[in-house]
Amino acid sequence: MHLLTDPLQFDFFTRALLAVILVSVLCALVGAWVVLRGLSYIGDAMSHAVFPGIVGAFLMKGNLLVGALIAAVLTALGIGAIGRRSGLKQDSAIGIVFVGMFALGIVMLSRAPTFTTDLSNFLIGNPLGVTPTDLWGALAVTVVVGGILTAVQKELLLASFDPTEARAVGLPVRRLESLLLILIGLVVVLTVQLVGTTLSVSLLITSSAAARLQARSLKKMMLLAALLGTVGGVTGLYLSYYQDTAPGATIVLVNTAIFLAALAFRRRE
């Protein structure tokens, strides 16, 4: 039992544990939509596309999170606009906006006199450095995102899988698509700040993909993704503590192992 309780004597470990659980639930809420709609590329793309917003806020001595959120919203709207106007598949639109935004961030960064620790930490993330304020912020975002998705779930399902029928019954398909992209961007920004890019993408995609192999309804998929993400996160965090390894990377490896197990024992249609 002491193997479980000993690390909890440290406040930083307890906060990291709570952060991983909250982020797992938050990522499961949007990760199910990401996997079902074939948008797995968007997690990594969003985490890089917010770069100019972060750099801009840094140069203006503003709040990095606010800058990242603004960039995430602009990225989401840009992806939707390019996809609709060009007729290209959404993955192509994501690639175009992602590369352009990231390049803009690099150009802006070249104007910065120094690359400070604050900016580096935002991009890399550190679960063991989570503060109580970060936890309250994660809880607030989880409640907001969960509430919005619950309110528009039926409309979003119809717009996602039968847009023609959705338009016929008067649903604002474009607005719903933009809303989903913005929510994904919001989740990515928060999780990247808390746990880093690699773990953010893993929780957003790997856990939801594993859940998709076992669940057949959206609700069950979200619940299972949250459970698998939590199990992987907690297990990985304890392993990193006792093996003295990088926490984020260790959690990703555990999540990958969970996915492979789900793949080996997947439900047949």
Alpha carbons within 13 angstroms on the beta-carbon side of residue 47 total: 23
Structure tokens at 90: 């959404």
pLDDT value for 122: 57
Spatial contact of 251 and 199, defined as CB atoms under 8 Å apart: yes
**Cα–Cα nearest to 47, from 230, 175, 195:** 195
Instruction: Please state, in angstroms and rounded to a whole number, the distance separating the CA atoms of residues 163 and 172.
Output: 10
Phi then psi for 152, rounded to 5 degrees? -115, 15
Tokens of 240: 């990193």
The token pair at 235 is 């297990």
Residue 261, pLDDT score: 92
Q: Is the dihedral of CA 229, 80, 171, 190 positive or negative?
A: positive
Of 111, 80, 106, the C-alpha closest to 93 is: 80
Alpha-carbon distances, residue 234 vs 28, 113, 221 (angstroms):
15, 39, 20
Residue 161, exposed/middle/buried by CB under 10 A (0-12, 13-18, 19+)? exposed
* CA–CA separation, 135 and 16 (whole Å): 9
At how many degrees (to 10) do helices 153-161 and 11-36 cross?
50
One digit per residue, the tens of pLDDT, for the chain of length 269 reads 677 777 878 888 888 888 888 888 888 888 888 887 777 677 667 777 777 887 888 778 777 778 888 888 888 788 777 877 776 676 777 778 878 888 888 788 776 666 555 555 555 566 777 888 878 888 888 888 889 988 888 888 888 777 788 888 888 888 888 888 888 888 887 777 777 766 777 778 888 889 988 888 888 888 999 999 899 989 988 998 888 888 878 888 899 999 999 888 876 55
What the chain holds in terms of domains, given with CATH numbers, is 6-125+137-260 (1.10.3470.10)
**Residue 55: its pLDDT value, please?**
80
Residue 47: the pLDDT is 72
